[in-house]
Amino acid sequence: MLNVTPNGSEGSFWMSGAGPAADANGNIFALDANGTFDSTLNPQGFPSQGDFGNAFLKIATTNKQLTVADYFEMFNQTAENSTDEDLGSGGALVLPDLTDGSGQTRHLAVGAGKDGNIYVVDRDSMGKFNPSANKVYQQIQNALAGGVFSIPAFFNNTVYYGAVGDSIKAFGISAAQLVSTPASQTANAFPYPGATPSISANGNGNAILWVAENATPAVLHAYDAKDLSTELYNSNEAPSGRDQFGVGNKFITPMIINGKVYVGTTNGVGVFGLLH
């Protein structure tokens, strides 16, 4: 058991239903919600009272004990905590090893929350807290038009985000950095809570990005993952409402297996496949 605000309040893990991420060394990465953060640091740069509210956390599991091994905290954490602009509405994604411009291998993770910024952390040195400026590996300011209530998808050196009131955006990776301008994005935006994208592909080819829209009726969309401006299908386009599957729902992740796509509803599961 781990309490990340033992001498404060709040500081939950909810991440809009996203699970925590983990690396090959057994470290867990998660985004903490609004909560107490001790801006007075000990000599190791950690909060003096052990309170990590609104932080991007690396949690070690050595000897089956959960401990905060490293963290990143925004310099404006007081303002974000006081206005319910927590990082913890989104989920953390561990990226595969990447090589930067100098040939160094980077171990990175990415996360975003309600402030619309994308934060990329170096998992070996996350940046901790500085009251004047963020010491994070990379920050893309205002990358997204709204808050993130989802976890991104990763495929073929690209990270896909679906924020509230925003298009699904594809951010390419170059020299171990996210390219700040999306390589492509969907023509339509997604209402609250945005969307959690999923990828299906045949190896590295024929990739499709699937995403559920919280609308009435709910809509399942399929896009060309290489160019999100190309919509391949949506469940509202068939005649006579054939493919409609109920009202929308929050925090739904399309699941793809054995040639079918499964989408949760408020009272069941919509199952999509090829007509024969």
Mean pLDDT calculated for residue range 7-22: 95
Residue 200 contacts residue 250 (beta carbons within 8 Å): no
Transcribe 49-101 into DSSP letters.
T--BTTEEEEEE-GGG--EEEEEEE-TTHHHHHHTT--GGGS--EEPPPEE-T
Q: Which H or E run contains 234?
A: strand 227-234
**Whole-number average pLDDT of the chain:** 96
Provide the 10 A C-beta neighbour count for residue 25: 10
pLDDT band at residue 226 under the 50/70/90 scheme: very high
> For the whole model, what pTM was predicted?
0.96
Q: Give pLDDT tens digits for 110-139.
A: 999 999 999 999 999 999 999 999 999 999
| Structural domains of the chain ordered from first start | 1-142 (no CATH), 150-276 (2.40.128.630)
Distance in angstroms (rounded) separating the CA atoms of residues 258 and 255 = 10
Q: Give pLDDT tens digits for 43-81.
A: 999 999 999 999 999 999 999 999 999 999 999 999 999
Distance in angstroms (rounded) separating the CA atoms of residues 147 and 137 = 21
pLDDT band at residue 265 under the 50/70/90 scheme: confident
Q: Give pLDDT tens digits for 16-47.
A: 999 999 999 999 999 999 999 999 999 999 99
Mean pLDDT calculated for residue range 107-112: 98
Q: What would the two tokens of residue 167 be?
A: 């298009």
Distance in angstroms (rounded) separating the CA atoms of residues 65 and 173 = 34
Give the contacts of 90 (CB within 8 A, at least 6 positions apart): 15, 16, 18, 31, 111, 112, 113, 148, 149, 150, 151
pLDDT at position 276, please?
72
DSSP state of 128: B
Q: Give pLDDT tens digits for 153-172.
A: 999 999 999 999 999 999 99
pLDDT band at residue 207 under the 50/70/90 scheme: very high
Percent of the chain with pLDDT over 90: 95
pLDDT band at residue 267 under the 50/70/90 scheme: confident
